């Protein structure tokens, strides 16, 4: 499972051509009209390629732009409140940094967990404590001990070379932004990342 996080349209179709089927639009400080305009274009592209499209934070814009759901940070709207607004037909992801965060998200009805950060990243302004490989290994082991089976996606400064070791911890997939956007070929980098994820899963 690869989630591509982006704040722009350029590069998106290349990523979709590379096989990514899960896109998160993250335009944290943008005006509503800019998020809506970009989001509608993202939704159109995702439908064309059969990809899921979620938007960061903005529960109020999900239905209007045709997104499949929302990803909520720790300072965003509570999962339970978002579920009451959107209903059961939409995906709701929740950010977590600890086992307690995961427990709370599961209890509130989240569909998946974005666990991180793996390492320092400039994507977020208020960064939670960095987990590193050791942190992922510990938390995923605790999840197995408690029979928590919600999909867990690693996030935060992840590069292609990090994926085999991360997958070994038991995560479901990874969320990537800069490693794809800053590569010479977003399409080829997407293929490379998916190959590593799928090789481990198979």
Tell me the per-residue pLDDT of 90-143, one tens digit each, with 9 for 90 and over: 999 999 999 999 999 999 999 999 999 999 766 555 667 899 999 999 999 999
Cβ–Cβ under 8 Å, residues 98 and 139 = yes
Angle separating helix axes 99-108 and 79-86, nearest 10 degrees: 30
- Would you give the DSSP letter of residue 78? -
Q: What is the mean pLDDT of residues 77-91?
A: 97
Mean pLDDT of the chain: 95
3-class secondary-structure state, position 198? helix
pLDDT score of 39 more than 70: yes
pLDDT exceeding 70 applies to what percent of the chain? 96
Closest by Cα among 117, 88, 97, 123 to 7: 123
User: Higher-confidence residue: 72 or 122?
Assistant: 72
CA atoms within 13 A on the CB side of 90: 26
Q: What is the mean pLDDT of residues 27-48?
A: 97
Cβ–Cβ under 8 Å, residues 44 and 75 = no
Q: What is the mean pLDDT of residues 165-176?
A: 97
Which helix H or strand E contains 84, and what residues bound it? helix 79-86
Q: In this predicted structure, what is the pLDDT of residue 18? A: 98
How far is CA 106 from each of CA 61, 72, 101, rounded to the nearest angstrom?
A: 24, 13, 9
- Where is average pLDDT lowest: 3-17, 29-43, 96-110, 188-202? 188-202
Q: In this predicted structure, what is the pLDDT of residue 199? A: 87
Q: Degrees (nearest 5) of the Cα angle 62, 63, 67?
A: 55
Q: In this predicted structure, what is the pLDDT of residue 128? A: 74
* Cα 53 to Cα 139: distance, rounded to the nearest angstrom: 27
pLDDT score of 194 more than 70: yes
pLDDT score of 202 more than 60: no
Q: In this predicted structure, what is the pLDDT of residue 127? A: 63
pLDDT score of 195 more than 80: yes
Closest by Cα among 41, 10, 6, 1 to 25: 6
Closest by Cα among 118, 67, 57 to 93: 57
* Cα 134 to Cα 175: distance, rounded to the nearest angstrom: 18
How far is CA 169 from each of CA 115, 142, 152, 200, rounded to the nearest angstrom?
A: 12, 11, 11, 11
Q: In this predicted structure, what is the pLDDT of residue 17? A: 98
């Amino acid at each position: 499972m690869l989630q591509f996080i982006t704040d722009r349209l350029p590069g998106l179709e290349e990523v979709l051509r590379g096989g990514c089927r899960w896109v998160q639009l993250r335009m944290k400080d943008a005006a509503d009209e800019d998020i809506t305009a970009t989001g509608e274009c993202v939704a159109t592209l995702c439908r064309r390629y059969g990809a899921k499209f979620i938007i960061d934070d903005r529960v109020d814009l999900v239905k209007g732009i045709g997104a499949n759901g929302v990803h909520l940070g720790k300072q965003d709207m509570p999962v339970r409140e978002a579920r009451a607004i959107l209903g059961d037909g939409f995906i709701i992801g929740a950010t977590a940094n600890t086992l307690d965060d995961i427990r709370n998200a599961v209890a509130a009805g989240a569909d998946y967990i974005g666990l991180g950060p793996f390492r320092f990243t400039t994507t977020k302004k208020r960064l939670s404590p960095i987990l590193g490989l050791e942190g992922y290994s510990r938390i995923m082991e605790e999840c197995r001990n408690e029979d928590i089976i919600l999909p867990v996606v690693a996030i935060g400064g992840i590069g292609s070379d990090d994926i085999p070791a991360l997958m070994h911890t038991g995560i479901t997939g990874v969320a990537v932004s800069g490693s794809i956007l800053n590569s010479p070929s977003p399409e080829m980098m997407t293929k490379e990342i998916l190959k590593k994820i799928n090789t481990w899963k198979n």
